[in-house]
Structure 1
Amino acid sequence: MKVSKAAVLSLLAMASSLSSQQVKSVMNNEGRFRKDIILPVQSEQGETYIPVTVIKGKEKGPVFSIVAGIHGYEYPPVIAVQELLREISPESVKGTLIIIPVANTEAFKKRTPFISPLDQKNLNNAFPGSPDGSSTEQIAHLITKEVISNSDIFLDIHGGDANEDLMPFVCYYNRTDAPEQTAAAYELSLRSQIPYVVSYPYTITEKEPAKYAFKQAVQQGITALSIEAGKLGNVQEDQVALIKSAVYRMLQHTGNYAISKKADKKISKVTLLNRQEYIRVPQSGIFYSSFKSGDTVKKNQTLGFITDEFGTGKQDIIAPVGGIILYKIGTPPVNQGETLLCIGYYKQ
């Protein structure tokens, strides 16, 4: 396990409002504290920042990091983390929690799907980032260096963006050459009690850019996973509640936070989906489909069709495999090459 104090000191030292003496003072505050930090980011595109909360318990324990808002239009994760920040008490924490409530603040404030309005780049395609790059690349670098690298467990929370109809699931990478970390991520996935667990293949080398936040953590040998909940750029209260419940269950399992003295250790049955089939948009146009995320489909079933703006040129969309729709474009316009649907299924 990494040294919690080093992780905390690194982050606190980056907060321009704190002197080195103040950092030491905070660390000695009965051994536990909460500090809200602003990490400034300056680039040619303009100034922005990353909000970070560090909650350190009095007793030793793992460093559990939570990130929301890597895509600024994915609101249920952001609202769930806002509620967690109001509810979690430092007196009940063991180890350290590092929480980024909104990683992509400019996209969040400007209501921009997927990309940052500053540099038109996707933060969840930028890891490990660069200290001298654009604003998005610098944010990815700071998260990689100051959060991921100081974590024992890394949780990245996402949802359906403005155009995405998504069913809730928890996911991890099946890194076969790191069985201990993979097994820990799988166990945390089960503990979340989210009914669907998705396992992604891990195929990149050590030198390839990970691109995705929690894949970066996996590449660094850290126990990492992601929650996907919420859809279509709206706040669904049941999805906020699902995210919070899953996070609390994970924190209780790792020993970071006790939600109940009589913890329910029973794990409900989950559905494991270890394969994914991505259907790309064959032609730009208008997409029609009666299917929703979570629907079960059969191989060779017609899932919908695409027309041009005049309602002609119909092209059917056929399911190449049977399985469950994890997410799909839930708004009419589609552009060639985009992911139209993702079907999850299990293969022995």
Structure 2
Amino acid sequence: MFYKKLSHSLAVVLFAALSLCSVSAFADGAFELAGVSTPVGEKNTFFATEGDIALPVTVVHGNKPGPVLLLTAGIHGDEFPSMLALQKLGKELRADTLKGTVVIVHLANLDGFHEHRLALNPRDEKNLNREFPGDKAGTSTEQISEFLTREFIARCDFLVDMHSGSANQKLLNHVYSPFVGDAKLDALTFEFAKATGMQHIVMYGERPRDPQNSISYPNTAMTRGKPGLTTEIGHLGQRDDVFVEQALTVAKNALRFLDMIAGDATPHPEPAIYQKVKYLDSHNDGFFTPLVTIGDVVQPGTVLGEVSDYFGNKVEDITAPDAGIVMMINETPPIRSGESAVAIGIRQ
């Protein structure tokens, strides 16, 4: 596989090649985003607006040339640790020492955030991470997707889309390293994933390769030749300080990997690489009771949880089809037929 063969020197060459556009953009002076100009060596906080869209954004435009890193939280409005981490990062970064430009989208799904919704935008009941590259004339979610594609992804070189578990989900922290069949891009993306310092890395090639049907936010970057990661840090709709600090560390490791701030990225000493994640669905409506927890190693046939009807009678066991590690649990009782109850990561 490509991710076993990439040397550090090749990673450096690939990084340099993909950063050329940022260096030329730096030479042009101010960084333009959504009609707002940020001069060289300055930090700017503002709402990026268009029509009914208003996204809280921080741009830190460094004094020295370098890549453009896009960090985004709140694609799902109920996933809080990365939002709080990026608030901290935005305050800490200094334009006078930064190489390149950092663009922070603090909260991409503002309506979902204020309506306390699990993943969806209440204006149209759509999942922002399933509507890319979007439609300027479409529904609210489709318009946000198009705006992010046109104004933000188009101006970045690297993307980290930062998530966590919703109020019903218990998650093992992990990072998705997508691949789209471009050997150099896929290899660089894997190096980028390792550099985050996260232990659990999922190789992810299930999204379409068509830029006009990219579906998810990071895949939209990948189909446009730009490494795009998804991180999952924290769970159960919590704002735990430990999760916030972990998300902040990942963001800083991304900056160090790209040589945008001082220091070296710190990859995990024992990375665990997964070839895929299997989501195991309930076949019944009712109550779900987990019998394992995140991080548990399971074997084929292990009973992961059970579903009971509304009277308390067990109607289904959910079992592991393969050996793996538990990466997600539906921790709260409500379950619908077709809804994922457990997810397990399958190692190479």
Q: CA deviation at 1:220?
A: 1.2
1:94 to 80, 96, 99: 99
Q: Mapping of 1:191-210 within 5 angstroms?
A: 191-202=195-206, 204-206=208-210, 209-210=213-214
Distance 1:37 1:201 in 2: 35
Match of 2:185 in 1: 181
Query: After the TM superposition, which segments of 4 or more aligned residues of structure 1 sit over 6 Å from their partners?
Result: none
Match of 2:33 in 1: 11
1:214 to 215, 218, 225: 218
Q: Which amino acid aligns with 1:33?
A: E
Q: CA deviation at 1:270?
A: 0.7
Q: CA RMSD in A?
A: 1.9
Residues 110-166 of structure 1: CA distance to partner in whole angstroms, max 9, x if unpaired? 211110111111111111111111111111111111111111101100000111110
2:62 to 43, 52, 57: 57
Q: Mapping of 1:67-216 within 5 angstroms?
A: 67-175=72-180, 177-202=181-206, 204-206=208-210, 209-216=213-220
Residues 52-101 of structure 1: CA distance to partner in whole angstroms, max 9, x if unpaired? 21110011100111000000000111111111112111122111111101
Match of 2:6 in 1: none
* 8 Å contact from structure 2 (residues 283, 337) kept in 1: yes
1:240 to 222, 234, 244: 244
Distance 1:7 1:147 in 2: 18
Residues 295-331 of structure 1: CA distance to partner in whole angstroms, max 9, x if unpaired? 1111111111101111125211111111011112111
Match of 1:18 in 2: none
Q: Which amino acid aligns with 1:150?
A: R
* 8 Å contact from structure 2 (residues 197, 265) kept in 1: no
Distance 1:266 1:118 in 2: 40
* 8 Å contact from structure 2 (residues 287, 308) kept in 1: yes
State whether structure 2 residue 23 is matched by structure 1 residue 34. Answer: no
Q: Classify 1:112/1:326 alpha carbon distance in 2 versus 1 (closer, same or farther; 3 Å).
A: same
Match of 1:20 in 2: none
User: TM-score by structure 2 length?
Assistant: 0.89
3-state SS, counterpart of residue 103 of structure 2 = strand
Q: Classify 1:48/1:203 alpha carbon distance in 2 versus 1 (closer, same or farther; 3 Å).
A: closer
Q: Which amino acid aligns with 2:131?
A: A
Q: Which amino acid aligns with 2:149?
A: T
Match of 1:252 in 2: 256
Q: CA deviation at 1:174?
A: 2.3
Match of 1:305 in 2: 306
3-state SS, counterpart of residue 221 of structure 1 = coil
* 8 Å contact from structure 1 (residues 197, 272) kept in 2: yes
Q: Mapping of 1:259-278 within 5 angstroms?
A: 260=263, 263=264, 268-278=269-279
Match of 1:2 in 2: 21
Q: CA deviation at 1:231?
A: 0.2
For structure 2, the residue ranges without an aligned partner over 5 or more in a row are 1-19
* 8 Å contact from structure 2 (residues 130, 215) kept in 1: yes
Q: CA deviation at 1:205?
A: 3.3
Q: Classify 1:187/1:286 alpha carbon distance in 2 versus 1 (closer, same or farther; 3 Å).
A: same
Distance 2:33 2:81 in 1: 26
* 8 Å contact from structure 2 (residues 198, 268) kept in 1: no
Identity of aligned residues (%): 28
3-state SS, counterpart of residue 84 of structure 1 = helix
Distance 2:162 2:236 in 1: 15
User: TM-score by structure 1 length?
Assistant: 0.89
3-state SS, counterpart of residue 231 of structure 1 = coil
Q: Which amino acid aligns with 2:117?
A: T
Q: Which amino acid aligns with 2:42?
A: F
* 8 Å contact from structure 2 (residues 196, 267) kept in 1: no
Residues 216-264 of structure 1: CA distance to partner in whole angstroms, max 9, x if unpaired? 1111111111111010101121111111111111211101122x4xx47
3-state SS, counterpart of residue 102 of structure 2 = strand
Q: Which amino acid aligns with 1:318?
A: T
3-state SS, counterpart of residue 186 of structure 1 = helix
Q: CA deviation at 1:49?
A: 1.2
